[in-house]
Amino acid sequence: MSIRQPTVFGRTLLTQRDFSKVNFRDLTFRTINDPIVHYAFGRSGSEEVLTNFINAVLSDKGETTLIEKVTIKNPFDVRRFKNDKQIVVDIRAEDKQGRTYDVEFQVLPHTSFMERCLYYWGRIFDSQIDKGTAYNKLSPVISIILTDFQLSDHLEALQTNIKTRVHSKFMICERDMPEVVLTDCFQMHVIQLPKTLDAESLAGVGPELSQWLKYFGFPLKTREETMREAISQNGAVATAFGDYVTFQEDPQLRELAKEAERNLKDIMDELQVREDKGRTEGSTNTAIEMIKQLFTMRFGSLDTTTEEALNKKAERSIDQTERVRLTTLVMNCASPEDFRRDL
């Protein structure tokens, strides 16, 4: 297959993989499977692929000054995924101008999602400054969040506008003069992967980002011929897809993908069972037991300090709002220490 090499930022991406002999029916894992995403976009050597995706997101909202290269701050580590039950993949990179890009793929819907995104943006922004550092040294933090579910509630209105139905960019603006931006330090791109990836669903999305969305929709939402077309149009997409194929061919890596899918299914099943049971029993103890089990599924075991803190919670009656907060916290905290701190 002939691959047309992209020159989005002044040079080409080299793609060696020949997909003509690849049986697409054998490719069963989703491209947004946790370790696959980090392998294709977050390992040392994948900087140009990540840069191409970030530029596709930026240019889709009219950015004309694109980045040349990023440095990945948390590169892929096989050991990280062997026992990690985390459902969120976070890839952090920095460009030559010092701007930080936090790229996240979220497949599990939950309440207070946008508040959580804002919280993690704030933590990254705050991490730039040490005691005695001047505020003018702070650089922009740009969050790029791709979800495999449709946002609802106060963001439901986005679905009625063709320009924001899939991709929305949030900044801090003056209410009556939205063209006046308070600061460029805060930028948050939210991309909602449509249920279908046809021309109608992707209307209003630029061609480069459309190619990437077709990649992220494979194999459930993107058919083989559509995927092959995206590969032929963008060498970076082809490179990522080659890594995706390689991941499934390597026994050790393939096992990581299988484990990630099992973890996701287990957590979703557990959430449903506990939700049904809690709806029936409605007790604080039931809610706390659910949090304990989710903690164990995430981090492998329940340490004594965390268990004691949760037991103290169980001594008091907690309402539905607190149950939702605890569930969201245990599903999205980065470590047991983060969970205990916010408990």
Domain count, the chain: 2
Q: Residue 119 gets which letter from DSSP?
A: H
Q: Do residues 245 and 314 both lie within one domain?
A: no
Q: Do residues 212 and 88 both lie within one domain?
A: yes
Q: Do residues 239 and 266 both lie within one domain?
A: no
Q: Do residues 184 and 296 both lie within one domain?
A: no
Amino acid at 140: P
Domain end, chosen from 214, 249, 284, is at 249
Domain end, chosen from 249, 278, 310, is at 249
pLDDT of residue 80: 65
Q: Do residues 235 and 291 both lie within one domain?
A: no
Tell me if 48 sits within 8 A of 69, measured CB to CB: yes
CA-nearest of 201, 197, 166, 196 to 61 is 166
Task: Give the structural domain span for 298.
Answer: 257-342
Q: Do residues 195 and 262 both lie within one domain?
A: no
Q: Do residues 202 and 270 both lie within one domain?
A: no
Q: Do residues 46 and 162 both lie within one domain?
A: yes
In a domain, 93, yes or no: yes
Per-residue pLDDT of the chain (343 residues; tens, 9 = 90+): 333 343 333 333 434 567 888 899 889 899 998 889 999 999 889 999 999 999 999 999 999 888 988 999 888 877 666 655 554 458 999 999 999 999 999 887 766 788 888 988 999 999 988 866 788 889 999 999 999 887 765 667 777 777 788 999 999 999 999 999 999 999 999 999 888 888 888 999 999 999 999 999 999 899 999 999 999 999 999 999 999 999 888 888 888 888 777 776 666 666 555 555 555 445 567 778 878 877 876 776 788 888 888 888 877 777 766 776 787 777 767 678 878 888 7
pLDDT of residue 186: 97
In a domain, 18, yes or no: no
CA-nearest of 111, 200, 101, 107 to 143 is 101
Q: Where do runs of H (alpha helix) occur along 83-200?
A: 113-126
Q: Do residues 65 and 213 both lie within one domain?
A: yes
Sign of CA dihedral 35, 238, 242, 47: negative
CA-nearest of 331, 329, 309, 310 to 321 is 329
Domain end, chosen from 195, 221, 249, is at 249
Number of Cβ within a 10 Å radius of residue 91? 26
pLDDT of residue 87: 47
With a CB cutoff of 8 Å and minimum separation 6, the contacts of 154 are: none
In a domain, 12, yes or no: no
In a domain, 329, yes or no: yes
In a domain, 148, yes or no: yes
Longest alpha-carbon distance in the chain: 65
Q: How far is CA 300 from the centre of its chain?
A: 22
Q: Do residues 111 and 209 both lie within one domain?
A: yes
Q: Do residues 137 and 100 both lie within one domain?
A: yes
Q: pTM, whole model, 2 decimals?
A: 0.76
In a domain, 152, yes or no: yes
pLDDT of residue 4: 39
β pairing state of 89-95 and 181-192: unpaired
In a domain, 14, yes or no: no
In a domain, 158, yes or no: yes
Q: Do residues 36 and 54 both lie within one domain?
A: yes
